[in-house]
Amino acid sequence: MTKPLRGVRVLDLTNVLAGPFCCHQLVHLGAEVIKVEAAGRGDLARQLGGDPELNRRGMGVSFLAQNAGKKSVTVNLKHEAGKELFRRLVKTADVVVENFRPGVMERLGVGYEALKTVRPDLIYCAISGFGQEGLWVHRPAYDQIIQGASGVMSITGDAQGRPLRVGYPIADTVGGMTAAFAIAAALNAKPRGSFIDVSMLESVLATMGWVVSNYLIGGIEPRANGNENPTSAPSGAFEAGGGLINIAANKDEQWVLLTDHLGLADLRNRPEYATREDRKANRAALKRELEEVLKGRPARDWAKELNRIGVPAGAVLSVPEVLAMPQIADRGFLAGFTDVPGVGRDIEVVTTGIKLDGEAPGVDRPPPQLGQDNEAIWREIGVSREELDDLRRGGTI
């Protein structure tokens, strides 16, 4: 299949999620991604996840989720020999990705300015919570910190409750995706060579365009709306038999189709539901009227029927339910690896949500054990076996 980043070498110095997720995209698109991990401990994600035994082995579920297809080498960048070894590796690379706090790489002597003397056309991507400048530059940046600072939590939940975090690390993930997009663009530049500054805070705000613009242009302060779509009605989550169903009857014609199908055509004759604005103003009462009918049958049955007649709808599924659906199971979105070293059993992980020329990009290597590729990579750049032995004894790799 098409591998648009084939031949591109990426050095992944990142930890936990935003950076590893960025490089997860790149490796599936064909890049050779080498994780450059701290000697002796590696990516912190190796110790994180729901399986304590895998955490103890340094192959935590959080690590397995984002690192298939990558290679792993170890180096101590606090050792002068380690810095020199890393510089030699940078000479062979197209991209360096790191998500340390701003200034850390410079203090180690291996920041962008230093590395571009080694590789002038280097693309260097720094992912941080708040960017490389500004009053907040040295604040710690974990996903939930960014969710709170960005306003995401203030618009998640309902008006009666307190702000809520999104149920997965959306700030890390959006930051990583933004970085991958920027790197792919920079690889297309002629000539190559750039410093990419990715702020997780700004990346998240960039995805909130409708919400932010309603405030900046319309003067409407964003607030939590629960499972309701504030731009239309009936549009949101409704109680049906056995669970919730999302219905988006945003157009007048969909409102007509929906009420006809539910046997509630008379609602259209009532003044409180005459227009979209009327329905928005009386959405709570309208919701109760629709649910009286919807509760009589399973959400999945309603969803099939409504979609068939042109009313967008979908049952609210759990994660195990959606993963078992043919729509996911049959499209190559999940990748399996057999008897993974360091794990001792088969695993399945997600890929990218992309298809190229009809195929889902995949990788043929499971997530690596710490330092798994030390011998191959360091020898490839000219380090002799004797030097490797000395570097190991000295704690440099």
Q: Please, how many CA atoms are within 13 Å of residue 258, restricted to the half-sphere of its CB?
A: 26
Q: What amino acid occupies position 48?
A: L
85 inside domain? yes
Percent with pLDDT over 70 in the chain: 100
Report the alpha-carbon distance of residue 109 to residue 86 in Å, rounded. 11
Query: From residue 205, how far is each of 27, 130, 211 by CA, in Å?
Result: 26, 11, 9
Element (H, E) at 90: helix 80-90
The reported pLDDT for the residue numbered 43 is 96
Same domain, 246 and 282: yes
Q: Is 179 in contact with 196 (CB distance < 8 Å)?
A: yes
Which residue(s) pair with 243 in the sheet?
A: 240
Place of tokens 């009327």: 278
Among 143, 224, 218, residue whose Cα is nearest residue 176: 143
Report the alpha-carbon distance of residue 47 to residue 50 in Å, rounded. 10
Q: What is the DSSP string of 89-153?
A: HHTT-SEEEE-SPTTHHHHHT-SHHHHTTT-TT-EEEEEESS-SSSTTTTS---HHHHHHHHTTG
Tell me the Ramachandran region of residue 14: left when phi exceeds 0, alpha when psi lies from -120 to 50, beta otherwise.
beta
Report the alpha-carbon distance of residue 151 to residue 148 in Å, rounded. 6
266 inside domain? yes
Indicate if the pLDDT at residue 1 is higher than 80: no
Total domain count, the chain: 2
pLDDT band, residue 329 (cuts 50/70/90):
confident
Pull the structure tokens for residue 245: 């169903």
Same domain, 46 and 187: yes
Pull the structure tokens for residue 24: 């997860």
186 inside domain? yes
Q: Please, how many CA atoms are within 13 Å of residue 335, restricted to the half-sphere of its CB?
A: 24
- Using DSSP's 3-state secondary structure scheme, residue 196 falls into strand
299 inside domain? yes
Indicate if the pLDDT at residue 2 is higher than 90: no
Q: Please, how many CA atoms are within 13 Å of residue 203, restricted to the half-sphere of its CB?
A: 28
Mean pLDDT calculated for residue range 221-231: 91
Same domain, 24 and 111: yes
Those residues with Cβ within 8 angstroms of residue 116's Cβ, 6 or more apart along the chain or in another chain: 122, 124, 193
Query: Residue 290 is part of a domain; what is its CATH number?
Result: 3.30.1540.10
Cβ count within 10 A of residue 313: 23
Those residues with Cβ within 8 angstroms of residue 259's Cβ, 6 or more apart along the chain or in another chain: 265, 267, 268
128 inside domain? yes
274 inside domain? yes
Same domain, 34 and 138: yes
Say if pTM beats, i.e. exceeds, 0.85: yes
Report the alpha-carbon distance of residue 370 to residue 364 in Å, rounded. 18
The length of the chain is: 397
The reported pLDDT for the residue numbered 37 is 98
Pull the structure tokens for residue 320: 């195990």
Q: Is 254 in contact with 268 (CB distance < 8 Å)?
A: no
Mean pLDDT calculated for residue range 106-134: 97
Place of tokens 């000697």: 39
The reported pLDDT for the residue numbered 290 is 98
Query: Residue 186 is part of a domain; what is its CATH number?
Result: 3.40.50.10540
Q: Is 28 in contact with 363 (CB distance < 8 Å)?
A: yes
Same domain, 250 and 300: yes
Same domain, 342 and 258: no
Same domain, 15 and 159: yes
pLDDT tens figures, 145-187: 999 999 999 999 988 889 999 999 999 999 999 999 999 999 9
Same domain, 191 and 250: no
Q: Is 233 in contact with 161 (CB distance < 8 Å)?
A: no
Sheet containing strand 194-199, strands side by side: 71-75, 32-38, 9-12, 95-98, 123-128, 194-199
Q: Which residues does the annotation mark as catalytic?
A: 172
The reported pLDDT for the residue numbered 160 is 87
Same domain, 139 and 82: yes
Q: Is the peptide bond before 361 cis (omega within 30 degrees of 0)?
A: no
Final residue of a domain: which of 269, 289, 317? 317
Final residue of a domain: which of 317, 343, 358? 317
323 inside domain? no
CA 37 to chain centre: 21
Indicate if the pLDDT at residue 280 is higher than 80: yes
Q: Report CA dihedral (74, 78, 79, 83) to the nearest 10 degrees.
A: 70
Among 376, 364, 370, 363, residue whose Cα is nearest residue 342: 370
Same domain, 311 and 351: no
Same domain, 185 and 291: no
Q: Specify the pairing of strand 123-128 against strand 95-98.
A: parallel
pLDDT tens figures, 44-54: 999 999 999 99
Tell me which residue range forms the domain holding 352: 9-208+335-393
Mean pLDDT calculated for residue range 10-15: 97
Query: Exposed (0-12), middle (13-18) or buried (19+): which is 351, by Cβ within 10 Å?
Result: buried
Same domain, 263 and 195: no
224 inside domain? no
Query: Exposed (0-12), middle (13-18) or buried (19+): which is 110, by Cβ within 10 Å?
Result: buried
Q: What amino acid occupies position 46?
A: R
pLDDT tens figures, 335-362: 999 999 999 999 999 999 999 998 999 9
